[in-house]
Amino acid sequence: MPDSLPLLEVVDLQTHFRTPDGINRAVDGVSFTVKAGETLAVVGESGCGKSVTAMSLLRLVPEPPGKIAGRILFQGRDLLALTEREMKAIRGKELSMIFQEPMTSLNPVLTIGFQLRETLRLHEKVDRRTAERRAIELLDLVGIPESRRRMSEYPHQLSGGMRQRVMIAIALACSPKLLIADEPTTALDVTIQAQILDLMTDLKRRIGAAIVLITHDLGVVAEVAERVMVMYAGRKVEEAPVADLFRAPKHPYTQGLLGAVPRLGASLLDAESKLLEIPGVVPSLKQRIVGCVFAGRCPHATDICREAMPALDVKAPNHIAACHHAATEPAAA
**Burial category of 178 from C-beta neighbours within 10 Å (exposed 0-12, middle 13-18, buried 19 and up):** buried
State the pLDDT confidence band at 4, using cuts at 50, 70 and 90. Answer: low
d(CA 178, CA 63): 24
pLDDT for position 266: 54
Sign of CA dihedral 38, 44, 48, 52: positive
The DSSP 8-state label assigned to residue 285 in this structure reads: T
Close Cβ partners of 6 (under 8 Å, ≥ 6 residues apart): 33, 34, 35, 36
What pLDDT does 200 receive? 78
Predicted pLDDT at 239: 96
Q: What is the pLDDT of residues 268-299, one digit of tens each?
A: 555 555 667 788 888 888 888 889 999 989 98
Q: Whole-number mean pLDDT of the chain? A: 86
Per-residue pLDDT averaged across 33-47, rounded?
91
Domain boundaries, the chain: 226-263+271-332
Given pLDDT bands bounded at 50, 70 and 90, which one contains residue 159? confident
Residue 228 has pLDDT above 90, yes or no: yes
* pLDDT for position 187: 64
In this prediction, residue 113 carries a pLDDT of 92
